[in-house]
Structure 1
Amino acid sequence: MLPVSPPSHRPPLDPLTTGAVALAVVAVSSSAPLIAFAAAPALAIAFWRNLLAVAVLGPFSLARRRAEFRALTTGAGRREGLFCVFSGVALAAHFATWMPSAQLTSVAAATALGATQPVWQGLIARGQGRRLPPVVWIGIAVAVGGAVIATGADVGISGRAVAGDLLAVAGGMFAAVYTAFGERARASISTATYTTICYGVCALILLVVCLLGGVRLTGFDGHTWLAILALVAGAQLLGHSMFNYALHRISATTVSVLILLEAPGAALLGWVWLGQLPRTYALPGLALLVVGVAVVVLGGARAGRRVTPTPLPADPAPLAD
């Protein structure tokens, strides 16, 4: 089940939100290069990244938002609490697929294929009963075609790279689900409360996965721990958390397309820091991918402006089947 869209009447964009989004884009651009640099299993990195973020956010949230936490355990608040939990489950699935992809394929390919998130967000909208305009479906076709070309370019190199490409696409799908639940939760829940629950659930799931899979969680060298701490401070707290903050004023679709700005930033860092220059014959596929995603988002936004939104009831709508 996926949440229905929150009310469409959002407060106007303000300089604080604009700055938060800009900071988030810069922060998440460092994610793939840091994951590729760290000498640790990807799932272990994802676990520590979320657990340490909760360790930073938790004391503040529990001290300042106790009433909000209590409200999520009673009455109508339980539904909002479930949105936070489901978002954490989707985030764990995103990390469990996308983060290993950054170690199996190139930073540029992992970032670009993971950037199909807006495409899956459009399919989620269709599943919620919202009719997408033809231009959006054209964009989806172009984006998927670009992903196939980019993935096919890796076939001649190694099965390892192909597996990384496929995991990156799956990571983009789960990121869309995570953002959809986050958009719904942030309609009525503060950023601190939402992120604490979401990251906590994500860390718990990843811990179980790591223990069951025998993934090593300790014994890393100093450089790896520094990379993990950089991921916590940058991609997690200044990246994901700032995007979650913006979801109160910016739609999930808009946030998804803004995340596309991560692709060139990560590719640049991967080239300068790790010497990973994108393969020439993969560039057409990656270009088609980005063009298709842009068509999906921009075409959908243009169509949305031509439709007068139907006012929703003041009480948040229940989960859609």
Structure 2
Amino acid sequence: MNPKKPPVPVPLLMVIGIVAISFSSIFIKWSSAPVSVQGMYRLLFTSLLMLPFARPYSGAACALRLKDWLLLGASGVMLALHFLLWMGSLNYTSVASSTMIMALEPLFIMLGAYILYKERNSASAILGMAIAIFGVVFIGWGDIGLSAENLKGDMLSVGGTVAVAAHLLIGQKLVARMPSYLYSLIVFISAAIVFAVYNLVTSTPFFNYPAREWGIFVLLAVVPTVFGHILFNWLLQYASATTVSMNILGEPVGASILAFLLLGEQLSGLQWAGGVLVMAGLGVYLYSGRRKALKLQDSLPNAS
């Protein structure tokens, strides 16, 4: 992880990213196209938007080793699997329930970071995560349900959460030695190819969708992907995968509010209370990370 400061404060960038990704589930609910088609065009259009600005990174791409390319491919597969499972979960359960489960991502990230990178968290950071996750449970409490369809949606969301956690952990390793822009572009192209192969194998139509669907594909590429996923990938240069993944805890709040306003999905008092707990826990965690970074910065001059 790069210790230098970003040109824009990290908390502000996190807020922008949270708002952007909160629109993802809304656009998916609005679309009637297969989720594999939504995912493919979302990533394809994002890649096309990025390609004109990729020339400065051609040298870095040529310097990549075979191991780097294999890891990039693995990250792309995990990202495609995440979209396929999580987007599919929205066909069976509500926005609040699906995003609530997705917000458990930091648990998988923290476990994976400890196993792979020996990354430890302070007691206050763990407390912040616990508060936020407790709030997430409140958000989805009234909508988990016991029906077979809801259970299927929940399981798909769990699978998507595991996949995106693996994607972020691989990304943390790669952006330490390559530009985050190049990383995002290659991973998005890889994931789009995975979706294309999946659609070919399953005989899912590539075209013949109304103009409204194409508009949604573009919105999915610009809003939650460019201002969400790309931004979070860029933040991996300045924050750990565990910290970046904490942004997911803000998504259930934003997505649930948008679902209430735009889709008519009702929220209970417990869900509103859970939103407050989520933001409180996120604040505790980020404050803990800031203190840790300041301590590290203060110790650097004495390290030489």
Q: Same fold (TM over 0.5)?
A: yes
* % identical aligned pairs: 27
Q: What letter is aligned with 2:259?
A: G
Secondary structure in structure 2 of the residue aligned to 1:260:
helix
CA 1:90–1:297 in structure 2 vs 1: closer, same or farther (change >3 Å)?
Answer: farther
Distance 2:268 2:49 in 1: 39
Instruction: Please state if 1:116 is matched with 2:104.
Output: yes
Q: Which stretch shifts more, 79-88 or 178-187?
A: 79-88
After TM superposition, give the deviation of residue 105 of structure 1 in Å. 0.9
Larger helix proportion of the pair:
2
Distance 2:114 2:214 in 1: 42
Q: For residues 58-102 of structure 1, give each alpha carbon's deviation from its aligned partner in whole angstroms, at most 9, with x where no partner exists.
A: 2431x2222111111xxxx33333332222111111111111112
Distance 1:275 1:28 in 2: 19
- Hey, what does 2:155 align to over in structure 1? 166
CA 1:168–1:300 in structure 2 vs 1: closer, same or farther (change >3 Å)?
Answer: farther
Q: For residues 276-298 of structure 1, give each alpha carbon's deviation from its aligned partner in whole angstroms, at most 9, with x where no partner exists.
A: 113567778x6799499759956
- Hey, what does 1:3 align to over in structure 2? none
- Hey, what does 1:40 align to over in structure 2? 33
Distance 2:217 2:134 in 1: 34
Equivalent of 1:101, from 76, 79, 89?
89
Distance 1:306 1:148 in 2: 32
Contact kept, 8 Å, 1:151 with 1:162, in 2: the verdict is no
Secondary structure in structure 2 of the residue aligned to 1:126:
helix
Secondary structure in structure 2 of the residue aligned to 1:103:
coil
Equivalent of 2:217, from 197, 207, 228?
228
CA 1:220–1:278 in structure 2 vs 1: closer, same or farther (change >3 Å)?
Answer: farther
Secondary structure in structure 1 of the residue aligned to 2:90:
helix
Secondary structure in structure 1 of the residue aligned to 2:205:
coil
Contact kept, 8 Å, 1:186 with 1:247, in 2: the verdict is yes
* Structure 1 portions without partners, runs of 5+: 1-7, 310-321
The alignment's TM-score, normalised by the length of structure 1, stands at: 0.78
After TM superposition, give the deviation of residue 133 of structure 1 in Å. 6.4
Equivalent of 1:198, from 187, 202, 213?
187
Distance 1:19 1:294 in 2: 13
The alignment's TM-score, normalised by the length of structure 2, stands at: 0.82
How large is the Cα RMSD of the aligned pairs? 3.4
Q: For residues 129-156 of structure 1, give each alpha carbon's deviation from its aligned partner in whole angstroms, at most 9, with x where no partner exists.
A: 4566677778888888888888786565
Q: What letter is aligned with 1:215?
A: T
Q: What letter is aligned with 1:260?
A: L
Aligned residues: 297
CA 1:264–1:48 in structure 2 vs 1: closer, same or farther (change >3 Å)?
Answer: same
Instruction: Please state if 1:219 is matched with 2:205.
Output: no
After TM superposition, give the deviation of residue 256 of structure 1 in Å. 1.0
Contact kept, 8 Å, 1:112 with 1:289, in 2: the verdict is no
Distance 2:155 2:69 in 1: 32
- Hey, what does 1:50 align to over in structure 2? 43
CA 1:147–1:250 in structure 2 vs 1: closer, same or farther (change >3 Å)?
Answer: closer
Within a 5 Å distance, the mapping from 1:4-153 to structure 2 comes to 8=1, 10-15=3-8, 19-61=12-54, 63-72=55-64, 77-128=65-116, 129-130=118-119
Contact kept, 8 Å, 1:105 with 1:165, in 2: the verdict is yes
Distance 2:163 2:234 in 1: 19
Q: Which stretch shifts more, 203-212 or 139-148?
A: 139-148
CA 1:138–1:255 in structure 2 vs 1: closer, same or farther (change >3 Å)?
Answer: closer
Q: Which stretch shifts more, 12-21 or 241-250?
A: 12-21
Distance 1:171 1:27 in 2: 19
CA 1:86–1:199 in structure 2 vs 1: closer, same or farther (change >3 Å)?
Answer: same
